[in-house]
């Protein structure tokens, strides 16, 4: 059981990251009834409550006991930005020098939250700014679900009346920083809570795990939890994919496609409708040519898929450019004519840099700049106004 302790003694159990099964076990372990888990989960996840005193259907005696031994502690927000188009972003501090980001992208009725699973990433894809940061550490289940909790809760700020609070998020994609399948033991309980009717109650079609292709863990995922799968394909042949997504050298396309087929086969009773989302970043002159579209069509012919073209999001010193719009549209046309569902990801939120690891980079730069400024002020003994 992943239990986070507060630095103050006595250590309290952070209930935020516990799935219902684990929370039930925990209540039993403190001599209470199992059903308390569902009650507390509703307060915490559906109503955004972190104060036991507000949990009015729980006796005063139990609330006092909970205050002694437990807490509900979300990750520390160090930066947040709500833009006019409805996009919301957060940067969380998770440990001394570590930050992760979470982005909420609205689209009509849909509100999709893009959640991080690790600080940095070890897989070093050549077009990814998170990869360039290297791997620092896994997030705990509480830090992962904590991103969902904070985002959902942000919609309750102007709704003091609990009865009027409605679930805000409709979709979660594990497409923030990190490779979720390399943090399996924390990602699975967090996704469990996303699906739980006593928590976020999201449908399994609306929780998507995105992987760069950690083949053995894809099989483990299939056996463990039923969620939608997205694969970061990005190249239609091994030579190019070896370069863009280095984990391809370990698990080449033949193995990746076989793992995709196993996932689809496992759910074949699913009205035959399940598809894998293939993500394909559009890099100018690298993977966006007609020959690449033709190879992709051949590669995916027996793997029911929908293809999501992602215009490359440039970052400082990135070795690529975004494909021109006309090139992306021509690529899409070839796939659509071959019978595929092929969408182009909207690049909305660009104004505040909604892309994989980039916001953290900016906030870190800003923090460093203001730290340097504070240090220089302290050294010179001058009294100055803030550089903002
Ligand atoms: N590690 C997982 C999930 C996080 S990355 C994975 O790779 O699937 C989420 C998506 O953003 C992936 O498809 C990734 O390839 C894509 N991505 C990363 N950097 C990008 C960039 N600079 N521009 C556009 N998409 C990017
Ligand atoms: Fe890691 Fe995904 Fe970025 Fe690749 S694209 S470096 S797997 S976060």
- Is the minimum distance from the CB of 320 to ligand 1 under 6 angstroms? no
Q: Which of 219, 232, 44, 206 lies closest to 124, judged by CA?
A: 232
Ligand 1: centre distance to CA 15 (Å): 30
CA of 69 from ligand 2 middle (Å) equals 38
Residue 151 pLDDT greater than 90, yes or no: yes
Q: What is the pLDDT of residue 16?
A: 98
Ligand 1, pocket-test mutation among 310, 321, 347, 353, most atoms within 8 A of CB: 310
Task: Give the residue, 109 or 272, on which the prediction is more confident.
Answer: 109
Buried b (16+ CB within 10 A) or exposed e, 7-24: eeeeebbbbbbbbbebbb
Q: Which residues line ligand 2 (CB under 6 A)?
A: 121, 123-125, 128, 130-131, 178-179, 212, 232
Asked if residue 115 lies in contact with residue 102, where contact means CB atoms within 8 angstroms, the answer is: yes
Considering every ligand atom shown, identify the ligand nearest to the alpha carbon of residue 313 and give its number.
1
Residues 191-208, mean pLDDT to the nearest whole number: 97
Distance 372 CA to ligand 2 centre (A): 30
Atom of ligand 1 lying closest to residue 128 CA: 19
Q: From the CA of 208, which ligand is nearest?
A: 1
pLDDT grade, residue 10 (50/70/90)? low
Residue-level pLDDT at 166: 85
Q: Which of 116, 131, 135 to mutate to test the pocket of ligand 2 (most atoms within 8 A of CB)?
A: 131
Q: Which ligand is nearest to the CA of 310?
A: 1
Ligand 2 atom at minimum distance from 130 CA: 3
Q: Cα–Cα distance between 283 and 232 in angstroms, integer?
A: 14
Residue-wise pLDDT tens digits, 298-343: 999 999 999 999 999 998 899 999 999 999 999 999 999 999 999 9
> 87 versus 362: which is more confidently predicted?
87
Q: Indicate which residue's Cα is closest to atom 8 of ligand 2.
A: 178
Q: Is the per-residue pLDDT at 172 higher than 90?
A: yes
Determine if ligand 1 sits within 6 Å of the CB of residue 232. yes
> Which two structure tokens, joined as six digits, stand for 137?
């550490």
The predicted pLDDT at position 320 comes to 96
The contacts of residue 152 (CB under 8 Å, 6+ apart) are 45, 48, 167, 168, 169, 200
**Ligand 1 neighbour 98 (Cβ under 6 A):** no
Q: Tokens 């919609």 belong to which residue?
A: 155
pLDDT for 13-50, tens place per residue?
999 999 999 999 999 999 999 999 999 999 999 999 99
Checking if the pLDDT of 349 tops 80, the result is no
Percent of the chain with pLDDT over 90: 78
25 vs 351, which has greater pLDDT? 25
Ligand 1 nearest-atom number relative to CA 179: 1
Ligand sitting nearest the alpha carbon of 356: 1
pLDDT, tens digit (0-9, with 9 covering 90-100), for 86-99: 999 999 999 888 99
pLDDT in tens, 138-147: 999 999 999 9
Q: Is 322 within 8 Å of 282 (Cβ atoms)?
A: yes
Top pLDDT among 158 and 210 is at 210
Task: Check: CB of residue 279 under 8 Å from CB of residue 311.
Answer: no
HEC string of the chain equals CCCCCCCCCCCCEEHHHCCHHHHHHHHHHCCCCCCHHHHHHHHHHHCCCCCHHHCCCCCHHHHHHHHHHEECCCCEEEEEEECCCCCEEEEEECCCCCEEEEEEEEECCEEEEECCCEEECCCCCCCCHHHHCCEEEECCHHHHHHHHHHHHHHCCCCCCCHHHCCCCCCEEEECCCCCHHHHHHHHHHHHHHHHCCCCCCCCHHHEEEEECCCHHHHHHHHHHCCCEEEEECCCCCHHHHHHHCHHHHCCCHHHHHHHHHHHHHHCCCCCCCCCEEEEEEEECCCCCCHHHHHHHHHHCCCCCEEEEEEECCCCCCCCCCECCHHHHHHHHHHHHHCCCEEEECCCCCHHHCCCCCHHHHHHHHHHHHHHHHHHHHHHHCCCCCCCC
Q: 79: which strand partners? A: 91
Q: Is the Cβ–Cβ distance between 174 and 183 less than 8 Å?
A: no
Residue 370 has pLDDT above 70, yes or no: no
Which position among 4, 24, 71, 101 bears the catalytic label?
101
Dihedral of alpha carbons 229, 234, 239, 243, sign: negative
Residue 179: CB within 6 Å of ligand 1?
yes
Band of residue 164 on the pLDDT scale cut at 50, 70, 90: confident
Q: Whose CA is nearest to atom 21 of ligand 1?
A: 313
Q: What is the pLDDT at residue 372?
A: 53
Strands 118-120 and 110-114: unpaired
Distance 189 CA to ligand 1 centre (A): 23
Tell me the CB-side half-sphere exposure of residue 14, using CA atoms within 13 A: 19
Sorted by sequence, the CB contacts under 8 Å of residue 111 that are 6+ apart come out as 104, 105, 168, 169, 170, 171
101 is catalytic: yes
Residue whose CA lies nearest to ligand 1 atom number 7 = 212
Find out whether 28 and 34 touch, Cβ atoms under 8 Å.
yes
CB atoms within 10 A of CB 277: 20
Average pLDDT of 378-384?
42
Q: Cβ(141) to ligand 1 under 6 A? A: no
Find, among 168, 114, 115, the residue nearest to 345 by Cα: 114
Distance CA 282, CA 280 (A): 6
Q: Is 283 in the pocket of ligand 1 (CB under 6 A)?
A: no
User: CA–CA separation, 323 vs 174, rounded Å?
Assistant: 25
Pocket of ligand 1, candidates 214, 356, 362: which has the most ligand atoms within 8 Å of its Cβ, to mutate?
A: 356
**pLDDT tens digits for range 213-248:** 999 999 999 999 999 999 999 999 999 999 999 999
């Amino acid at each position: 059981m992943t239990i986070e302790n507060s630095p103050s003694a006595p250590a309290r159990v952070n209930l935020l990251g516990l799935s219902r099964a684990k929370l039930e076990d925990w209540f039993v372990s403190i001599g209470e009834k199992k059903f308390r888990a569902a009650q507390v989960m509703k307060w915490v996840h559906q109503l955004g409550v972190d104060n036991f005193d507000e949990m009015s259907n729980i006796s005063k005696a139990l609330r006092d006991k909970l205050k002694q031994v437990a807490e509900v502690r979300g990750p520390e927000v160090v930066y947040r930005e709500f833009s006019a188009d409805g996009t919301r972003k957060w940067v969380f501090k998770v440990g001394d020098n570590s930050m992760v980001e979470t982005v909420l992208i609205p689209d009509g009725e849909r509100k999709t939250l893009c959640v991080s699973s690790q600080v940095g990433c070890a897989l070093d894809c050549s077009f990814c700014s998170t990869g360039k940061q290297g791997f620092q550490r896994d997030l705990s289940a509480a830090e992962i679900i904590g991103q969902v909790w904070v985002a959902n809760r942000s919609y309750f700020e102007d709704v003091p009346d609990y009865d009027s609070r409605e679930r805000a998020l409709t979709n979660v994609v594990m497409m923030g920083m990190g490779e979720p399948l390399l943090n399996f033991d924390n990602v699975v309980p967090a996704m469990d809570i996303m699906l739980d009717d006593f928590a976020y109650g999201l449908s399994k079609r609306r929780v998507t795990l995105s992987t760069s292709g950690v083949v053995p863990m894809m099989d483990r995922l299939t056996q463990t939890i039923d969620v939608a799968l997205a694969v970061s394909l990005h190249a239609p042949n091994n030579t190019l994919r070896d370069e863009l997504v280095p984990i391809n050298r370990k698990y080449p396309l033949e193995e990746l496609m076989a793992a995709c087929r196993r996932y689809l086969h496992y759910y074949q009773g699913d009205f035959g409708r399940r598809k894998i989302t293939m993500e394909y970043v559009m890099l100018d002159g690298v993977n966006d040519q007609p020959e690449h579209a033709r190879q992709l069509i051949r590669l995916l012919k027996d793997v029911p898929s929908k293809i999501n073209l992602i215009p490359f999001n440039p970052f400082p010193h990135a070795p690529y450019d975004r494909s021109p719009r006309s090139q992306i549209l021509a690529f899409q046309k070839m796939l659509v004519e071959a019978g595929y569902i092929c969408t182009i990801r909207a690049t909305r939120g660009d104004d505040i840099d909604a892309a994989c690891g980039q916001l953290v980079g900016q906030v870190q730069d800003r923090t460093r700049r203001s730290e340097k400024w504070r240090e220089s002020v302290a050294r010179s003994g001058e009294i100055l106004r803030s550089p903002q």
